[in-house]
Structure 1
């Protein structure tokens, strides 16, 4: 039986992350229809032909060769034996034509058509390969798929995408429902397939039954990771698998724990959202990125509008708001819900740091991705 108490010394965050990520590999790619691929992480995408395949008219008008209408103006109309070819937007450009003139650029009211405007090569044209260059992938590997990426894929004629989508099982203990859904929403936005949010009673046997690793690539238990008399999550994990660390040098979120159920990594986080969120940012997100093969997060480098003070020995999460070209610190340590609602980004302050002085440029991760 595990004694439900924090260890005498907290596990450094860097050690906890390395332990959690040990032997985790990216999941096997799968083909998904475009409608289901939004928010997933791209695996390997084959090189595509040029899109468009040939020059197209970008506007309705007259297709001409710019060299043939040099000098044309309303003061010196250029008479042509036959009117230029009319094209609608999206039509393939006629051979030897390299620009499109507006409708009023050619006067067809008289017996002979007259061009009254010069043309510029490329005017009114979508060049071949301007949307997707030949022999290049439509979306880079390791990239989180956004709506504009799906536009590119559809324009290239793709019907499916090759993605990595880890299966995440969330075990929700009584009192942690709102937090469990918060974590599930974040997980889906970062490429995971949340297979189930399972409610479990607070006793060790019920939690151990819910921590079933079959069909999952990552397990997250929300609630019951503390030292209270009703907190049995650690005992449950010990029955199902192995506790690797309990008590992380992370503020807030010190009662988080990591372990294994078979070969599946397990993260146990507090039930309160302000304590669970740092565990998500600092521990769960790196694990999910390893499983998806994601290569980078969106971040922004801006100076701090005011200083951030931090305690040496504890890694801390600071929430930031972008204001007047700088990061304004909103909260460090305590993270009230109203502050979460305002935050644009978050910053992980290492346990070795005392914080940052006002004006220091910091590269914060965008929360509103």
Structure 2
């Protein structure tokens, strides 16, 4: 038998170039919808935005009494605060009857809906009943023991991104959002055919001169690991007719075909000869590659369908599979991005990381703190705690690992090193771009575009001031900021220091959100309406968290007043919208996108700038350059305008 192709051994990179070129355009195979029960291990085909708020209502975190926090100030065991206990307690799964007013309290179970008027929950252990009154023995602050609606997941928030692989963490998030079917990338079907008279199936009695077919098992599992669906085709003897029939059957049912054996000069090795007869153009692309192990490898294509004859020896077969086939398979399965800026993943071993912020802990209890990891300019690991609380479903899904605070430690100071333990089944991978700071729907647009270019990213939302501090310390590539400076009446630029560069972003229209039809706000000028509302009994506001860019605008509108609800801080625009839409608050300040998405009224105040701040030393990093290029592209500007942003 002639072996012309095998005599022309080619360079490894040239062989791969030929193979890839024959398969282009190379990308995910398409979308299919599956039930949530069958989604584990599948690859998301599109971003998933939550259709609901999670939790969907203001929720008590413990058994106790819903109160107005100010009614408990000064309480102690010796001098408890006496509150009238409302006759109708909160019942699980039912909206509360009545409203908590001055001097009253309402019994509430863990997980119950917080009634209107209440802004805190006193745990039952800190109370005593006295007839129809409750004696409060310990004061609480606004927000104590309450998870506000939309705090964990906000309606419309992108929670999972296209090409995420669904583990039990992600399926739990989908279930929490009420999603029962999901669009996933179709798994590439990979036909696996073993050939050779000497091959027998595992489990059969051993025979002289015969070997068990380990390649089919190894390759099938490797295909699964790469995101494909193996199609075992059994063992075919060294007969041209049998190999030809098996190959034609495999080409008919699969997206990619693997054969093992039959690539060397032995007289019974017929695979390459049959390929030359059966395949449509371009046919055999390389037969013999300068590899050790793996020299006999044959790469071919029938149309745009890859056909690979792997060496028969198991070590050579699996080595060449991972070198040439697995990368293609991962792209087809949506598990790899094209043109990665760098490869590799962090291993799952324990490591040490520096804590960028101080963290308090309840003494006497061992505490486990879930974190997201990044690196400083010197490559040292930084661990950002995820602070959404034990009731959150996204905390676990976002975590890169965790560290332990021993029970005798009440505080871990910023700058301390902590030992990071891996989350079971999770291997944190390095990404091309780390953004720390304020979150915005516009960033979702930009990061989705970057993902399509093969640029992976990690976003850690800590607010504008936290992001600016992180970029100064060299803990991220960029910080999302929208900080207002009243002295200069401008955004972001006044906060730059030496060594920091402003990357222009886009505008967002901020204003007062309220329930449509509320005559106290409808049709009025924003500043006037807020001033009047601040002086009106019964009107409740919802504030933004300290350190956010929006908080400065709120203070400007309030002009020093402190209306009801001022002490209650929401951490996002969507949480503001949830509080107003559900009636817990009557007004707040958020971007107009939130008002439109939730059907709320909106009084414009001003355009604010959402920009990115980058350390000058990182501007030329590939991920940062890609970010800058995307923000300047007309495609992204158009997409941002489509979301209602000012670009």
TM-score by length of 1: 0.73
CA distance in 2, matches of 1:267, 1:98: 65
Q: Which of 76, 88, 93 is matched with 2:79 structurally? A: 76
Does 2:129 correspond to 1:98? no
Q: Does 1:229 align with 2:267?
A: yes
Superposition pairs of residues 76-155 of structure 1, within 5 angstroms = 76-82=79-85, 84-109=105-130, 112-155=133-176
Superposition deviation, residue 8 in structure 1: 4.3
SS at match of 2:321: helix
Partners of 1:97 and 1:4 lie apart in 2 by 83
Point out the structure with the larger helix share: 2
Residue in 2 that maps onto 1:311: none
2:11 corresponds in structure 1 to: 11
Q: Which moved more, 1:202-211 or 1:283-292?
A: 202-211
State the match for 1:185 in structure 2: 221
2:219 and 2:108 map into 1 onto residues whose CA distance is: 53
C-alpha distance in 1 between matches for 2:233 and 2:64: 57
Structure 2 residue 345 is matched with structure 1 residue 299: yes
Identify which of 246, 249, 257 aligns with 1:210.
246
CA contact (8 A) 1:251 1:278 kept: no
Change (3 A) 1:58 1:4: farther
Contact 1:143/1:295 (CA < 8 Å) preserved in 2?
no
CA drift at 1:189: 2.9
TM-superposition CA deviations, 1:97-155 (whole Å, max 9, x none): 33333221111145631111122333333333344333233421112221211111111
Partner of 1:172: 194
Query: Which residue of the other structure, out of 263, 266, 271, is the alignment partner of 2:312?
Result: 271
Unaligned ranges ≥5, structure 2: 87-104, 200-210, 338-342, 349-380, 382-426, 428-647
Q: CA deviation at 1:217?
A: 1.3
| Alignment of structure 1 residues 304-343 onto 2, 5 Å | none
Kindly tell me: are residues 280 and 244 of structure 1, through their superposed partners in 2, closer, same or farther at Cα, counting changes over 3 Å?
same
Q: 1:57 to 1:11 in 2, by over 3 A?
A: same
CA contact (8 A) 1:48 1:137 kept: yes
Deviation (angstroms), 1:301: 7.2
Separation of aligned partners in 2, 1:149 and 1:172: 37
TM-score (norm 2): 0.43
Question: d(CA) in 2 for partners of 1:281 and 1:272?
Answer: 14
* Structure 1 pair 254–134 and aligned structure 2 pair: CA distance change class (3 A): farther
Q: Which moved more, 1:127-136 or 1:292-301?
A: 292-301
**Is the aligned partner of 1:59 residue 2:70?**
no
Larger radius of gyration: 2
Aligned-residue RMSD, C-alpha:
2.8
1:65·1:96 contact (CA, 8 Å) conserved in 2? yes
* Range with bigger deviation, 265-274 or 169-178: 169-178
Q: Give distance in 2, aligned partners of 1:93 and 1:109.
A: 23
Residue 152 of structure 1 aligns to a residue whose secondary structure is: helix
- SS state at 1:243 partner: strand
Deviation at 1:46, TM superposition (A): 4.3
In the alignment of these two chains, the number of paired residues is 304
Separation in 2, partners of 1:186, 1:245: 23
- Judged with a 3 Å threshold, the aligned counterparts in structure 2 of structure 1 residues 219 and 89 are, in CA distance, closer, same or farther, namely farther
Contact map agreement 2:220 2:232 (CA 8 A) in 1: no
Secondary structure of the 1:258 match is strand
Q: CA deviation at 1:184?
A: 1.3
In 1, distance between residues paired with 2:36 and 2:143?
33
Name segments (4+ residues, structure 1) moved above 6 Å: none
Report the Cα distance in structure 1 between the residues aligned to 2:122 and 2:290, rounded to whole angstroms: 67
Q: Residues 36, 207 of structure 1: CA spacing in aligned structure 2 closer, same or farther, 3 A cutoff?
A: farther
For residues 246-288 of structure 1, the C-alpha deviation after alignment (integer angstroms, 9 at most, x for no partner) is 2223332222221113331112212333222222221111111
Q: Note the residue ranges of structure 1 that are not aligned, 5 or more in a row.
A: 303-324, 326-343, 345-369
